[in-house]
Amino acid sequence: EIKSDGDTLIRLIRQGAQYSKIFDKVTIVTADCHLEKVIETVPSWWGILLVKKNRDDLLKQIRVAKSNKRNLSAEDLATLFNKDEALDLLDKISTSKGWKSKSLYKIQEHIAKTLPLEDLKTYAKDNLIKRVHL
């Protein structure tokens, strides 16, 4: 998660709650103006990086990210997929027949019930990385 000088922290609590349900580790990158509030707001297992204005030392590590000790939820992980991604995943695991006309929510529910959690985590991470490269 990135919070620059121009951002507000209004959505951070909601985002943090969602991230805590689906990610093994989280690091927030923040501007100095938000640092105190970020430290107070984010869970203690989140890492924190501070963006410095000094070009020689652009990022300063405030806190190292630790493993999320919470039990991650397959249902929450499945919500990371949009319909095209969800259908592609069903194609990969050869269970797409009859799902193309279903709602995204039904497809996500099916994915959560069908895949082992570790496999779902892998597919979700791969998808997020793929989105960055689009």
* pLDDT in the model for residue 87: 96
Q: Exposed/middle/buried for 94, CB within 10 Å: 0-12, 13-18, 19+?
A: exposed
Q: Give the strand pairing for 27-31 and 47-51.
A: parallel
Given a contact cutoff of 8 angstroms between Cβ atoms, the answer to whether 129 and 80 are in contact is no
* pLDDT in the model for residue 4: 66
Locate tokens 């992980």: which residue?
A: 77
* pLDDT in the model for residue 126: 87
> 3-state secondary structure string, 35-77?
HHHHHHHCCCCCEEEEECCCHHHCEEEEECCCCCCCCCCHHHH
* pLDDT in the model for residue 133: 73
Ranges of the chain with pLDDT below 50: none
Report d(CA 113, CA 105) in Å as an integer.
12
Could you tell me the sign of the dihedral formed by the alpha carbons of 44, 49, 51, 57, in that order? positive
* pLDDT in the model for residue 17: 82
- Reported pTM: 0.69
* pLDDT in the model for residue 55: 67
